[in-house]
Amino acid sequence: MPDPVRVSVVIPVYNAERYVEASVRSALGSDLRELEIVIVDDGSTDRSAEIVRQIGDPRIELIQLRASGGPAHPRNVGIARARAPYVALLDADDLIKPDKLSSAVAALDRHPEAGFAFADFEQIDGDGRILQSHLIAGNRIFREVASEPGEDSWRLIPRAELERGLVGSNFIGTSGVILRKSVLSDIGVFDETLVYCEDRDLWFRLAHRCSALYREQIGHSYRIAPGSLTYKPTLRTARDRVTVLRHEKARWKSRCERRQLDRLIAENLAAIGYEYRRSRNRFRSFASFLKAFVTYPDVRWMRALVGSLVSPNLR
């Protein structure tokens, strides 16, 4: 008898005791009943796992791991355990809207050429107050991405448009993305060598493989709260971005896209340079600005390079 589960919701958890119950219950409140929720506790030292157990819904599976230091590994563990043909991603402090899963699954069933579906989202604070709405629709790069109208307000973004758009901006919110598990089997899952930017790396690989579906209606609430992975060290973030952008550049032959990626790489190399300047490391600051200038010549990087040499506050 075929497994009735249509969607596996994968939730990585690390010390999210304040928000995890609300996140899990938002998924359980979906109007799509044929789902499972795979919660992967990545070595939490708070009451996160205990809170999940107390919810007591048979559709929940809790997996506990040693801390890995980032979201990629627990997400991959959850994806490997998923029984459904579709995998939905949800962070432990975010909330998914009741109709998001059912609507996305129906759209993906209608469009086999689409490998994943995503929707617009809102930003909320730690207490659930809306800080900003329609973050994707407000993205200038995304507004230039062409799409084709479909049913139930979903739009199909052709692969070539998705490729070009993502070079300019990472406009996809990770929570609420629904993916075909078969596509992940083809292109691979999250890169566990990355602590940050692992989501954009996956979107890049997906964009070179398939089209996508987008819905302007709000699909999830993205929470900004102290202690979340949104507050991350600039140095490691920039290094991981450089790695991901260099991998993406290697996939392109187009001079325009390669040049655009060079600019983004240079900006992140410069961010590394400024971090070293703040820590008074003259040599590494100089080297980072030099790499930025060589990658994408800009007077800003030359001025910063000179400043690294002459500043009396640097050793």
- The pLDDT tens digits of the residues spanning 172-190 come to 999 989 999 999 999 999 9
Q: Where are the domains of the chain?
A: 7-223, 234-310
Percent of the chain scoring above 90 in pLDDT: 88
Q: Is residue 85 a contact partner of residue 6, using CB atoms and an 8 Å limit?
A: yes
In this predicted structure, what is the pLDDT of residue 120? 97
What is the average pLDDT score of the chain? 94
Q: Any idea which architecture 7-223 has in CATH?
A: Alpha-Beta Complex (3.90)
Contact partners, residue 28, CB within 8 Å, separation at least 6 = 37, 55, 57, 59, 60
Q: Is the pLDDT of residue 7 over 70?
A: yes
DSSP H or E run through 285: helix 282-295
Q: What span, in angstroms and rounded, lies between the C-alpha atoms of 10 and 168?
A: 28
Looking at the predicted structure, is the pLDDT value of residue 281 above 70?
yes
Asked whether the predicted pLDDT for residue 49 surpasses 70, the reply is: yes
> What are the backbone angles phi and psi of residue 199, rounded to the nearest 5°?
-70, -45
| pLDDT of the residue at 167 | 97
Whether pLDDT at 314 is above 70? no
Task: Please give the span between the terminal C-alpha atoms of the chain, in angstroms, as a whole number.
Answer: 69
HSE of 30, CA atoms in CB hemisphere, 13 A: 28
Cα separation, 204 vs 195, whole angstroms: 17
pLDDT in tens, 214-265: 999 999 999 997 655 444 558 899 999 999 999 999 999 999 999 999 999 9
Mean pLDDT score, 295-305: 95
pLDDT band at 37 (very low <50, low <70, confident <90, very high): very high
- pLDDT, one tens digit per residue, over 67-96 is 998 899 999 999 999 999 999 999 999 999
pLDDT at 309: 81
Distance between CA 31 and CA 225 in Å, rounded?
28
211-223 vs 60-65, strand pairing mode: unpaired
- Tokens 């359980």 found at: 28
pLDDT band at 308 (very low <50, low <70, confident <90, very high): confident
